[in-house]
Amino acid sequence: MLFHVRMDVHLPPDLDAGVRQDIVAREKAYSQQLQRAGKWPQLWRIVGEYSNISIFDVDSGDELHQLLSSLPLFPYLDIKVTALARHPSKVD
């Protein structure tokens, strides 16, 4: 199943710099692990925002929820998920 996911990051401005650096480093490592595994095949930055648009390729909504809730930045994310289906006019 494919899902379009928008993630907007809202780190507190007073978050300790060391804590912030640790969370961001763990987030990068985890997201790259999911990308290499094929679960997160597309990751795009939204220009001018601390946000991204991603495509996830997972077996179920439950699996997507598990992956997203395991993100180190999860407590600081606003997430919008849209399930995707193949368009009948798409050319292969």
- Tell me the pLDDT tens digit for each residue of 55-85: 999 999 999 999 999 999 999 999 999 999 9
65 lies in which domain range?
Answer: 2-84
Is 73 a domain residue? yes
Is 90 a domain residue? no
Is 89 a domain residue? no
Under DSSP, the state recorded for 46 is: P
Q: What is each CA distance from 12 to 23, 46, 92, in whole angstroms?
A: 12, 20, 44
Residue type, 5: V
Band of residue 92 on the pLDDT scale cut at 50, 70, 90:
confident
Is 36 a domain residue? yes
Q: What is the number of domains present in the chain? A: 1
CA atoms within 13 Å, Cβ hemisphere of 74: 11
Query: How much is the pTM?
Result: 0.92
Is 91 a domain residue? no
